[in-house]
Amino acid sequence: MLHILNAMVMDRIRIDFFSKQLKKNDISTSVLDKVIRIFDTNKKNLSMIDEKHYKLSYKDTMLELSDSELIYMLSSGATKGLLLYVYI
């Protein structure tokens, strides 16, 4: 049970950190889309609906996702690539 709780806390920290970095560094969704497509060609056309919600085309199906759902949809490589982009 504690392992599941720790995983949930770490996921929330990762989501919050990711969201804050995007806002803090004013990263446009067009740049995010390009970085994501480097790591996963099935995911494209990322657009922000509002501060916590996004649209993403996945295998030609448009999905509306919360920020946490978006993080789960992205591969770990895409997430790391986005954070690397933010820091460079």
> Which region among 3-7, 20-24, 48-52 has the lowest average model confidence (pLDDT)?
3-7
pTM of the model: 0.65
Q: Which domain holds residue 57?
A: 2-87
β partners of residue 47: 55
Q: Which residues are within 8 A (CB) of 27 and not within 5 positions of it... i.e. 6 or more apart?
A: 21, 82, 85, 86
Interval 39-86: pLDDT, tens: 888 888 888 888 788 888 888 899 999 877 887 788 777 777 777 777
When divided into structural domains, the chain yields a total of 1
